């Protein structure tokens, strides 16, 4: 009871204080509070195809002031017919990253949490994603999903049938892409959160 009453009094004091400010001061204070939001983060994810990265990304994006940016959405919208092999994916992914980089940094600096549904499956991909957090001067959360390849292939077959993903990946493509996959090494000096 006392905690609720104390909280109500503090809220009323804050409302009284803010109501006495002019519009310019109010905007300045709000901008400061949003910029320095302690829970602002950049999330990125590592896991094989169909390991659950997008599912986790969508779950994380349900939080307030959180924006989800999905590489698959950008690629399928802009280049759906142009990605027929791994080299095309690498080229188009690089284009999207170049366009979005400054925008993502500004979104995070403005106090938004951003969930990057981009694969963090190679050292270069992880380095780029971490650099976004560094440029924005915010903390990152690096999620790792360790799922066996056989389970990923099972999920992939279901995903391809259901059509949840804009791209259908064959088992042969899964094997080819997985050859380039790696979990982070200690040399990368990343703080990792292993997901169950």
CATH code (residue 176): 3.40.50.300
What total of structural domains would you count in the chain? 2
Q: Give the chain's mean pLDDT.
A: 87
Same domain for 31 and 47, yes or no, is: no
Same domain for 71 and 103, yes or no, is: yes
Q: What are the φ/ψ torsions at residue 159 (nearest 5 degrees)?
A: -60, -40
Which residues are CB-contacts of 46 (< 8 A; sequence separation ≥ 6)? 53, 119, 120, 121, 126, 142, 143, 144, 145, 183, 184
Same domain for 88 and 45, yes or no, is: yes
Residue 196 has pLDDT above 50, yes or no: yes
Same domain for 110 and 138, yes or no, is: yes
Integer Cα distance of 101 and 118 in angstroms: 12
Q: What local confidence, expressed as pLDDT, does residue 12 receive? A: 67
Question: 191 to each of 37, 52, 82, how far by Cα in Å?
Answer: 21, 20, 35
Q: Is the distance from CB of 70 to CB of 54 less than 8 angstroms?
A: yes
pTM of the predicted structure, to 2 decimals: 0.79
The strand ranges marked E within the chain are: 41-46, 66-70, 113-119, 139-145, 192-195
Q: Per residue in 62-101, pLDDT tens?
A: 999 999 999 999 999 999 889 888 899 999 999 999 999 9
Partner residues linked to 113 by β-bridges:
66
Partner residues linked to 46 by β-bridges:
144
Residue 159 has pLDDT above 60, yes or no: yes
Order the strands of the 139-145 sheet from edge to edge.
66-70, 113-119, 41-46, 139-145, 192-195
For residues 148-171, give the mean pLDDT: 92
Q: Is the distance from CB of 54 to CB of 72 less than 8 angstroms?
A: yes
Same domain for 45 and 21, yes or no, is: no
Spell out the SS3 assignment of 125-178: HHHHHHHHHHHHCCEEEEEEECCCHHHHHHHHHHHHHHCCCCCCCCHHHHHHHH
Residue 193 has pLDDT above 70, yes or no: yes
Residue 4: give the domain boundaries.
1-36
Q: Per residue in 33-69, pLDDT tens?
A: 555 456 899 999 999 999 999 999 999 999 999 999 9
Same domain for 127 and 71, yes or no, is: yes
For residues 152-169, give the mean pLDDT: 90
């Amino acid at each position: 009871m006392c905690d609720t009453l104390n909280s109500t009094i503090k809220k009323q004091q804050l409302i009284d204080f803010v109501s006495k400010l002019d519009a310019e001061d109010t905007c300045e204070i709000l901008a400061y509070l949003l910029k320095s939001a302690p829970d602002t983060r950049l999330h990125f994810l590592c896991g094989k195809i169909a390991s659950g990265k997008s599912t986790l990304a969508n779950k994380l994006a349900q939080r307030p002031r959180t924006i989800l940016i999905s590489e698959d959405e950008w690629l399928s919208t802009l280049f759906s017919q142009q990605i027929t092999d791994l080299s095309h994916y690498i080229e188009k992914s690089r284009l999207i990253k170049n366009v979005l980089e400054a925008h993502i940094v500004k979104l995070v600096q403005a106090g938004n949490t951003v969930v990057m549904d981009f694969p963090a499956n190679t050292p270069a991909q992880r380095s780029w994603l971490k650099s976004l957090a560094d440029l924005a001067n915010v903390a990152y959360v690096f999620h790792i999903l360790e799922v066996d390849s056989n389970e990923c292939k099972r999920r992939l077959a279901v995903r391809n049938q259901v059509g949840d993903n804009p791209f259908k990946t064959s088992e042969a493509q899964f094997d080819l892409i997985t050859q380039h996959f790696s979990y982070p090494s200690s040399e990368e000096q990343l703080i990792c959160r292993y997901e169950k």
